[in-house]
């Protein structure tokens, strides 16, 4: 299962998961009011709230897809330019024709985003992996490791309703978002960060994230049931589509 690890806490204190829900504004008013009252009188929970809020803001600010796309494109372009300059400086006339062909038939620059492999207009999930403080854009089928933090993003052309689930190697299906009884309303946008990140636990094997996008606020339990009892099943009610991100969780390499 993919989850946010819980810190040690005294009896009556809030869990890390509860704090995450509060930061993501996923709680009903009465529950939020009770938690806020506890935090005001508990230094441990207040400190945890401050740390979680800061971590969320820092992680989201350090993982802009557009920045990485531009960086990757620039690196590819710079590398291509260096290759062209090397050919020119060689000064051999016999290479001129080959140089023209190279320019005309140069393959397009690879950019690390999933738009290229998605049908136009389809709603989908994408993600960034934070591995020991280093971030990278993830790809379906990527190898990840216990302790890696996953920040999910969504893309959809227009307003929609979204619920996100996780299934681990043990086939346990968990609701990640929202912590309410119906799918959350989301505005249209491209690679918009979801209001949470997940730290991967130590259960190795296949890790699947499901994004269920609906035209209306469907019940989360109904959507969860539609995902079925096995990883290969993913049924959605009328007006909903399901996107899957399949990752391979492996033991972290020994860096000693």
Q: How far is CA 130 from CA 67, 135, 164, in A?
A: 16, 4, 19
On the question of pLDDT at 113 being above 50, the answer is no
Distance CA 148, CA 2 (A): 10
Interhelix angle 16-23/29-41, nearest 10 degrees: 120
pTM, two decimal places? 0.58
Cα Rg of the chain (Å, integer): 22
Q: CA 32: distance to chain centroid? A: 26
Structure confidence by residue, pLDDT tens digits, 153-188: 999 999 999 999 999 999 899 999 998 999 999 999
Structure tokens that stand for 76 in this block: 């590819």
Give the torsion sign (CA, 249, 253, 255, 256): positive
Q: Where is average pLDDT lowest: 33-37, 136-140, 184-188, 202-206?
A: 33-37
How would residue 228 be classed by pLDDT, with cut points 50, 70 and 90? confident
**pLDDT attached to residue 48:** 82
**Higher pLDDT, residue 5 or 1:** 1
Structure confidence by residue, pLDDT tens digits, 65-108: 554 555 545 555 555 544 444 443 445 444 434 433 333 343 33
Instruction: Give me the count of residues in the chain.
Output: 256
**pLDDT attached to residue 204:** 93
Tokens 């000693």 -> residue: 256
**pLDDT attached to residue 79:** 54
**pLDDT attached to residue 231:** 55
- Residue 68's contacts (CB-CB under 8 Å, 6 or more residues apart) are 112, 137
**pLDDT attached to residue 255:** 53
Structure confidence by residue, pLDDT tens digits, 14-67: 877 777 777 766 666 777 788 888 888 888 888 888 887 776 655 555 545 554
- Written in H, E and C, the secondary structure of 175-214 is EEECCCCECEEECCEEEEEEEEEEEECCCCEEEEEEEEEE
Q: Closest by alpha carbon to 213, among 169, 160, 256, 174?
A: 160
**pLDDT attached to residue 166:** 93
């Amino acid at each position: 299962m993919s989850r946010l690890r819980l810190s040690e806490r005294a009896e009556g204190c809030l869990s890390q998961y509860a704090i995450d829900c509060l930061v993501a504004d996923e709680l009903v008013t009465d529950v939020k009011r009770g938690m806020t009252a506890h935090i005001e009188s508990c230094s441990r929970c207040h400190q945890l709230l401050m740390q979680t809020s800061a971590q969320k803001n820092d992680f989201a600010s350090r993982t802009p897809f557009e920045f990485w796309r531009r960086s990757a494109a620039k690196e590819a372009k710079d590398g291509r330019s260096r290759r062209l300059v090397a050919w020119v400086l060689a000064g051999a006339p016999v290479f001129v024709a080959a140089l023209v062909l190279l320019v005309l038939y140069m393959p397009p620059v690879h950019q690390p985003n999933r738009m290229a492999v998605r049908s136009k207009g389809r709603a989908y999930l994408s993600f960034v992996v934070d591995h020991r403080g280093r971030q990278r854009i993830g790809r379906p089928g990527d190898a990840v490791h216990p302790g890696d933090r996953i920040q999910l993003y969504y893309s959809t052309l227009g307003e929609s309703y979204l619920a996100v689930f996780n299934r681990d190697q043990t086939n346990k299906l968990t609701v990640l978002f929202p912590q309410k009884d119906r799918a959350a309303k989301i505005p249209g946008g491209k690679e918009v960060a979801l209001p949470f990140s997940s730290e991967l636990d130590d259960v190795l094997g296949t890790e699947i994230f499901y994004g269920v996008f609906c035209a209306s606020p469907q019940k989360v339990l109904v959507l969860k049931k539609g995902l079925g009892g096995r990883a290969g099943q993913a049924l959605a009610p009328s007006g909903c589509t399901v996107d899957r991100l399949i990752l391979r969780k492996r033991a972290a390499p020994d860096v000693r």
